[in-house]
Amino acid sequence: MKLLSNFLKRKSQQLTKTDKSSAGKVDPQIKKLVDKLNKKPEYYTTSSCSGRIALIKAEQVKKPGLFLYITHKKLTFKEFKKILESMGKKEKSLVYLKQEPVILHVACENLKKAQELVDRAKLEAGWKKSTILATKNRIIAELLSTEHLDLPIMDKGKLLPDTNYFKLLLREANKKLKKTQDKIKRLEKVI
């Protein structure tokens, strides 16, 4: 009974605290799923990302300014080209184009509920890299999809690939972003 009361206390604290993410709010593409999970007595979300396309400096240490551009929406080639041109010669780092999948961390009342959620995510919604993380105090279902790209595209202000290859990369990034965000809707339907 003590575990349950601790769970409910942590849930209440989590759902009333200020969002400390860089965006300061839940991504609109995943908000409906987050709200649905948070309404269930056995779950609450601790972090989420609906998937994104980003330009990022190739540095080992995470620090402010590492992300040069982030979007959670489809990006046109015209927009992409304008962003790259605005960086121009001033960006001296190696820059990567990244497309990252949807990820969701859900605190669960118990191991059984965590396993049920992970099974639904994996088997019914295609979130193939989902797993359970457990500590002394919490059980977290880490729900993660597999779509991603991670390629160097600029070095010392010079674009590496040609225009046709940039178009291909962006087309693939947009396709993977759509696929990962479609999985959000699939999971909404099965929980």
Q: pLDDT band for 97, please (50, 70, 90 cuts).
A: very high
For 2-190, CATH gives: 3.30.1960.10
Q: What is the pLDDT of residue 157?
A: 84
User: Each residue of 58-86: pLDDT tens digit?
Assistant: 876 666 668 889 999 999 999 998 998 88
Question: What percent of the chain has a predicted confidence (pLDDT) above 70?
Answer: 92
Q: pLDDT band for 22, please (50, 70, 90 cuts).
A: low
Tell whether pTM > 0.85: yes
Whose CA is closest to 127, among 173, 170, 179, 71?
A: 179
* CB-based contacts of 163, cutoff 8 Å, min separation 6: none
Residue 134 has pLDDT above 60, yes or no: yes
CA–CA–CA angle 28, 29, 30 (5° rounding): 90
> From CA 29, how far away is CA 112, in angstroms rounded?
28
Listed in sequence order, the DSSP H helices in 44-161 are: 77-87, 111-119, 125
